[in-house]
Structure 1
Amino acid sequence: MKGSVKLASHQVVDFHGIVISRNDYKERDMLVKILTDKFGIKTFFVRGARKKGFKLASAILPFSHGTYFGNVNDHGLSFINGTRELEQYQQIYSDIELNAYASYILGLVGAAFGNDEPLPGVWFDNIATAINLIDQRFDAAIVANIIEIQLLEQFGVKPFLESCVICGNSSGPFDFSETYGGLLCQQHWYLDLHRLHLDQRTIYYLRLFSVIDLKQLHSIKVKDVTKQHLRHTIDTLYNDQVGVYVKAKKFIDQMGSWDQILKK
């Protein structure tokens, strides 16, 4: 029957999760989307979530995270029974800019991996680390850049950033070629007149971001002009080769425009 919810038959399991979003469902219920460590992105039916005094109200707020337990289906809706060790990313929840970057990262994850599929390797830990860094007020734009660069492989677009794609020269100077899918050393720039013409500082950070372990990131300071070049370069790669749209990205771009106006 249209609008009905099929009850899960699976046994109760526990998992760590980060609440991505929630939407009203019918008069009293909600559908809550959670990034989980074991099952990927799942949508949970939460009965009575819109009632005053609902016991799991804090557990389903966006950017809540902790251990959840419930019935998880392979496909379709799953169900939350309870939580423990629940926390809130307070800075992200209360800061519109941090919220936008965290939402963007989670949106990219959804675009890269889809729903109902476990994230491969250490990707859940990587995303959880990125969100935690943003909540600690690390440079959110740089954290997002790192995730963007490292996610390219999941979209089937892994730029070759180790050395020149033609001769293997690893010392540079380099430029980036979309045609060749990676770096060209100066000796081979003539092969692509439409290469991106990047400065060496931007190249340095693209290479660094492709391999850096976020768990080892203690501090990073990037000049504003380099951040602008990184933003433009990554946008070019995503627009030309990936083609995904994440709603939060539009708001981030608008914030960038506001900053430029205020600096004039």
Structure 2
Amino acid sequence: MQTKESRGLVLYSRPYREEDRLVKMFTEVSGKHMFFVRHAGKSKLSSVIQPLTLADFILKINANGLSYIEDYKEVTVFKAINSDIFRLSYASYLLALADAAVVDGITDASLFAFLVKTLELMDKGLDYEILTNIFEIQVLERFGVQLNFHECAICHRVGLPFDFSHRYSGLLCPDHYQQDAYRSHVDPNVIYLLDRFQNMKFEDLKTISLKPEMKQKLRQFIDLIYEDYVGLRLKSKTFIDELNKWGDIMKDHPIKD
């Protein structure tokens, strides 16, 4: 068992026996591990083992079993996210997606930094739907999925009104639409945005503003990509889908005083 100091982000916490808890944490220097916290309610750690808590931890890492949290400092709580059910549901989905994307115990400092930065921007009020889309597209490679949203799979031309082909796992330009009779017929603007999302820098996010119809098209197409290429259906994603339906109902039927 090794003692390490690392930034860590709590992914989830669940009861274990009567008073103890198991805490899944994504650490910057050692990847994801499950930590055992004894008498969690009375422990000095009680305030930092809640999901979406980021802190500098002193940890005892066990490669083959449960690990332990020795101490902590420099705690960050995403207050704006936790105060809004929509942002919270999307942030929870990002945690679950990151958890699914890498094997426990494998260090992935770049994914850790990407996840933390995405949450920070979400907490600052940037569009949580677009942030989630960007995270989903950029994390695809962690699932072994490499899709080119930049050029035609046949002639490699760029900058055209592309469509997506599952047959070629890539794009077709208008000259090659006939190569796949079952092409997606997706809005070319969706493909354009996904191409941007694959390499987008966080500084560019402040310039992006999308209409609800385009967000819906993005959501539907990314869901299709995950269904066909990843085969992943997380409970937190199902909750988002249901929550969005409730949100639409509330918009259509606002509560009157």
TM range, smaller chain: over 0.9
Which amino acid letter does the alignment assign opposite residue 98 of structure 2?
V
Does structure 1 residue 130 correspond to structure 2 residue 121?
Answer: no
Size of the aligned set, in residue pairs, is 252
Instruction: Report Cα offsets for 1:180-227 as digits up to 9, x if no partner.
Output: 111111100111121111222212111111111236533421111100
- Match in the other structure for 2:93: 104
Distance 2:184 2:247 in 1: 25
The offset of 1:46, in angstroms, is 1.0
Distance 1:200 1:147 in 2: 20
Match for residue 246 of structure 2 among 220, 233, 258: 258
The offset of 1:50, in angstroms, is 2.1
- Match in the other structure for 1:22: 13
Q: Is the CA contact 1:176–1:198 (under 8 Å) kept in the aligned structure 2?
A: yes
Q: Give % identity.
A: 38
Distance 1:94 1:30 in 2: 24
The offset of 1:27, in angstroms, is 2.0
Distance 2:251 2:162 in 1: 32
Q: Is the CA contact 1:71–1:78 (under 8 Å) kept in the aligned structure 2?
A: yes
Which amino acid letter does the alignment assign opposite residue 5 of structure 2?
D
Unaligned runs of 5+ in 1: 1-8
Q: Is the CA contact 1:30–1:47 (under 8 Å) kept in the aligned structure 2?
A: yes
Does structure 1 residue 40 correspond to structure 2 residue 31?
Answer: yes
Match for residue 88 of structure 1 among 63, 68, 77: 77
Distance 1:215 1:90 in 2: 22
Distance 2:59 2:99 in 1: 22
- Match in the other structure for 1:67: 56
Match for residue 175 of structure 2 among 181, 187, 197: 187
Distance 2:251 2:74 in 1: 43
Unaligned runs of 5+ in 2: 253-257
Distance 1:46 1:232 in 2: 40
- Match in the other structure for 2:4: 13
Does structure 1 residue 55 correspond to structure 2 residue 44?
Answer: yes
- Match in the other structure for 1:3: none
Q: TM-score, normalised by structure 2?
A: 0.93
Mapping 1:188-207, distance limit 5 Å:
188-207=176-195
Q: Is the CA contact 2:149–2:192 (under 8 Å) kept in the aligned structure 1?
A: no
Does structure 1 residue 218 correspond to structure 2 residue 218?
Answer: no
Distance 2:197 2:206 in 1: 14
Match for residue 234 of structure 2 among 246, 249, 263: 246
- Aligned-partner SS, 1:122: helix
Which amino acid letter does the alignment assign opposite residue 60 of structure 2?
N
Instruction: Report Cα offsets for 1:144-197 as digits up to 9, x if no partner.
Output: 100111111121221111210100111211111111111111100111121111
The offset of 1:244, in angstroms, is 1.0
